[in-house]
Amino acid sequence: MLSVQDIHSYYGDSHVLHGVSLTVAKGELVAILGRNGMGKTTLIRALIGFTPPREGRVVFKDRDVTSLPPFRAVEMGMGLVPQGRRIFPSLSVLENLKVAGNAKARWNLDRVFSLFPRLAARKAHAGDNLSGGEQQMLAIGRALMTNPDLLLLDEPTEGLAPMVVREVAKTLEGLRREGLSILLVEQSVPFATRIADRVHVLSRGRIVHSCSAAELLANEEVKSRHLGLGS
């Protein structure tokens, strides 16, 4: 589905990603874990094309998408749930979903609303007039409206209450059962290890550890050194 090959990303002269490689197979849920400022968002930005990597390749569905404009990557089936949700504030909930929809609708408004009934009740509300949890659901719903085969999620649990976090986890597990591939970026180890098949640990722009979710939970050394957890 997705193959990232030795990418290097920069902001101006500052070198942020130092040769990151990873793959996501069809139907797989892969998590990238890392603390603040380690380059997680930069990686997502490189994949969708907001900040194309200066070196290396991004191959999606067997096509090189490294320097494709972001809207083309979305057309090809990358769905983005960005950090901070980035709901369009001037648009209503309904419009936020509609602008993302396209003609060949596998996902449509009805399906999104049955997945998130709370959004249906707030259809006419302005996009910025929602609780954090509702905004996160809208951001996920909006990405689904683009009919993705691969969903990119950047810290979807940031700032959410534990109950809402559980709801997001259930939603992602459900989507994954339907065959969607998911690349999740997270700081929360419990959340990521609960739903992911494999995890990569990102530190200062490099992947420093890769293993299964269960193995990470057992690995105190990696957790304390790179994720600031543990004894």
Partner 1 sequence: MNLAHGSYFLLGGYVGLTTAARTKSFALALLSGSLAVALIGLGMERFFLRRLTRQSLPQVLLTMGFALVFQDLALLVWGGDPYNIAVPAFLAQSVQAGPVFVNFYRLFIIGVAFAVGVVLWLFLERTRAGASIRATVDDAEMAQGVGINVPLLSAGVFALGAFLAALGGVVGAGFIGVYPGLDFEVLPYAFVVVIIGGLGSFHGVVVGSLVVGLLDNFGKALFPELSYFTLFAPMALILALKPTGLFGKR
Ligand X SMILES: Nc1ncnc2c1ncn2[C@@H]1O[C@H](COP(=O)(O)OP(=O)(O)OP(=O)(O)O)[C@@H](O)[C@H]1O
Q: Which is nearer to Mg ion, 29 or 44 (CB)?
A: 44
Q: Pick what 69 binds: ligand X, partner 1, Mg ion, none; C-beta below 5 to 8 Å, kind-dependent.
A: partner 1
Residue 173 · residue 31 · CB < 8 Å: no
Q: Which stretch binds Mg ion (CB under 5 A): 12-20, 26-34, 38-46, 53-61?
A: 38-46
Does 91 contact partner 1 by CB under 8 A? Answer: yes
Interface with ligand X by CB under 6 A: which residues? Answer: 11, 14, 16, 34, 36-42, 83, 187
Does 83 contact Mg ion by CB under 5 A? Answer: yes
Q: Which is nearer to partner 1, 103 or 163 (CB)?
A: 103
Q: Which is nearer to partner 1, 80 or 196 (CB)?
A: 80
**Interface pick for partner 1 out of 95, 158, 167, 197 (rule CB under 8 A):** 95
Distance CA 197, CA 67 (A): 29
Q: Which stretch binds partner 1 (CB under 8 A): 5-13, 72-80, 116-124, 175-183?
A: 72-80
Lay out the site mask for partner 1 across 99-138 (x = CB under 8 A, - = otherwise).
Answer: xx-x------------------------------------
**Interface pick for partner 1 out of 6, 55, 64, 75 (rule CB under 8 A):** 75
DSSP the chain: -EEEEEEEEEETTEEEEEEEEEEE-TT-EEEEE--TTSSHHHHHHHHHTSS--SEEEEEETTEE-TTS-HHHHHHHTEEEE-TT----TTSBHHHHHHTT--SS-SS-HHHHHHH-HHHHHTTTSBTTSS-HHHHHHHHHHHHHHT--SEEEEE-TTTT--HHHHHHHHHHHHHHHHTT-EEEEEES-HHHHHHH-SEEEEEETTEEEEEEEHHHHHH-HHHHHHHSS---
CA dihedral 108, 2, 197, 178 (to 10 degrees): 20
Does 9 contact Mg ion by CB under 5 A? Answer: no
Single-letter code of the amino acid located at 20? V
Does 3 contact Mg ion by CB under 5 A? Answer: no
Q: Which residues contribute to the site for partner 1 (CB under 8 A)?
A: 48-50, 69-71, 74-75, 80, 82, 86, 88-91, 95-96, 98-100, 102, 142-143, 145-146
Q: Which residues contribute to the site for Mg ion (CB under 5 A)?
A: 40-41, 83
